[in-house]
Amino acid sequence: MRHRVLGGTGIEVSPYCLGTMMFGSVGNADHDDCARIIHAALDEGIDFVDTADMYSAGESEIIVGKALKGRRDDVVLATKVHFPMGDGPHSGGNSRRWIVRAVEDSLRRLGTDWIDLYQVHRPDHRTDVEETLSVLTDLVQQGRIRAFGCSTFPAEQIVEAHHVAERRGLHRFRTEQPPYSLLARGVERHVLPVTERLGMGVLTWSPLASGFLTGRHRKGRDTDLSTGRPALHPGRFDPSAPTTVAKLEAVEQLVAVAEEMGCTLPELAVAFPLAHPAVTSVIIGPRTMEQLRATLNGRSVVLDDAVLDRIDAIVPPGTDVYPPDGVWAPPALTSPALRRRPAGSRSAV
């Protein structure tokens, strides 16, 4: 695989990144089978592995650590911090207090002395971004991590973090990890132009749109809700939901594009993000060896302008067929108390 430089760090990575969210109790609980998948990916030229402390409550990191024994030096290893790892109020977030503890926990589970890319999994409205950048800068200087980035941050917060880092003489976010697929192109509007302007690397996640671009979910077919993502989130696959209907309509048109190209829908889906000049690497997250093979079979797929024009006609640039699953929402939209004055202090105009 032809490598790409990750956000000006000088670290070269493969255009495919092996995502491990489905390794562990949430997906594939067979540690030996997960290790075989990781080894197969490495043997195929993927040398970039992405995990997170919260994937199966740390189990994914343990699996990755065991699988990389003896091969750690050949791999660019990324993990993340933010989501709660316990029930207490001090077991998550982006504070110095939590990150100092979380990075040590991740290093122990991964069985390594350093993390190549440490990512802040989501914004934290309770913590000043300067606090987060400060502790991450310290971790780089201590050798615990080599570089750090953010994941699923809105464009305005990426810009704010860059400005704070520059003003305070801190290290800055080198990468962003947004959702990006044939069905979710919203990041083309603001996030990808900002990352290009700031010279950041981009690792995109969910290229198969939570399973809707695997080819298994088609219009007029019943969806098996007993396994995989449908079992975890059956509501997202409700055939009567307007968003599901819209996804399936777009999928039928995209299947036709793939068939005319002589490739499968998953192969088309994984090739699509790599066609954008801002994207460094696409995260693929197989649960089984079969899924890994099916994805890697499309490595030779190249999308020319005619194909990209057809895709633009089906899903216009900068638009989402559905709100991507798992994205960050501003707290003021989810908590009424943050957008309403107390009743006694409201004044009439």
pLDDT digits (tens, 9 = 90+) for 45-70: 999 999 999 999 999 999 999 999 99
Show which residues are catalytic: 55
Average pLDDT over residues 154-181: 98
Tell me the pLDDT tens digit for each residue of 134-145.
999 999 999 999
What pLDDT, on the 0 to 100 scale, is given for residue 290?
Answer: 95
Q: What is the mean pLDDT of the chain?
A: 93
Confidence of residue 346 (pLDDT cuts 50, 70, 90): low
The pLDDT of residue 200 is above 80: yes
What pLDDT, on the 0 to 100 scale, is given for residue 240?
Answer: 81
The pLDDT of residue 163 is above 80: yes
In a 3-state reduction of DSSP, which class is residue 41? helix
Confidence of residue 219 (pLDDT cuts 50, 70, 90): confident
Confidence of residue 343 (pLDDT cuts 50, 70, 90): confident
Which residues sit opposite 74 in a β-bridge? none
Q: State both tokens at 57.
A: 């409550």
pTM of the complete model = 0.93
What pLDDT, on the 0 to 100 scale, is given for residue 56?
Answer: 97
Q: What residue spans define the domains of the chain? A: 4-335
Tell me the pLDDT tens digit for each residue of 220-261.
676 665 566 666 666 777 888 899 999 999 999 999 999 999
What pLDDT, on the 0 to 100 scale, is given for residue 217?
Answer: 78
- By DSSP bridging, strand 145-151 and strand 281-284 are unpaired
| Cα–Cα dist 233/254, whole Å | 24
Tell me if 109 sits within 8 A of 62, measured CB to CB: yes
What pLDDT, on the 0 to 100 scale, is given for residue 302?
Answer: 92
Tell me the pLDDT tens digit for each residue of 269-298.
999 999 999 999 999 999 999 999 998 988
Give 133-141 contacts, CB < 8 A, sequence gap 24+. 133/161, 133/164, 133/165, 133/168, 133/170, 133/171, 133/172, 133/173, 134/96, 134/168, 134/170, 135/96, 135/99, 135/100, 136/99, 136/171, 137/170, 137/171, 139/99, 139/103, 140/171
How far are the Cα atoms of 85, 106, 124, 246 from residue 90, in angstroms, in the given order? 9, 16, 13, 41
Q: State both tokens at 137.
A: 């800068």
% the chain with pLDDT above 90: 80
CATH number of 4-335: 3.20.20.100
Q: Of 77, 110, 81, 80, which is closest to residue 11 (Cα–Cα)?
A: 77
Average pLDDT over residues 259-266: 95
Confidence of residue 174 (pLDDT cuts 50, 70, 90): very high
Tell me the pLDDT tens digit for each residue of 10-43.
999 999 999 999 999 999 999 999 999 999 999 9
What pLDDT, on the 0 to 100 scale, is given for residue 215?
Answer: 84
What pLDDT, on the 0 to 100 scale, is given for residue 64?
Answer: 98
% the chain with pLDDT above 70: 94
| Cα–Cα dist 309/226, whole Å | 37
The pLDDT of residue 307 is above 80: yes
Contacts of 296 (CB under 8 A, 6+ apart): 16, 41, 44
Q: State both tokens at 75.
A: 């791999």
In a 3-state reduction of DSSP, which class is residue 117? strand
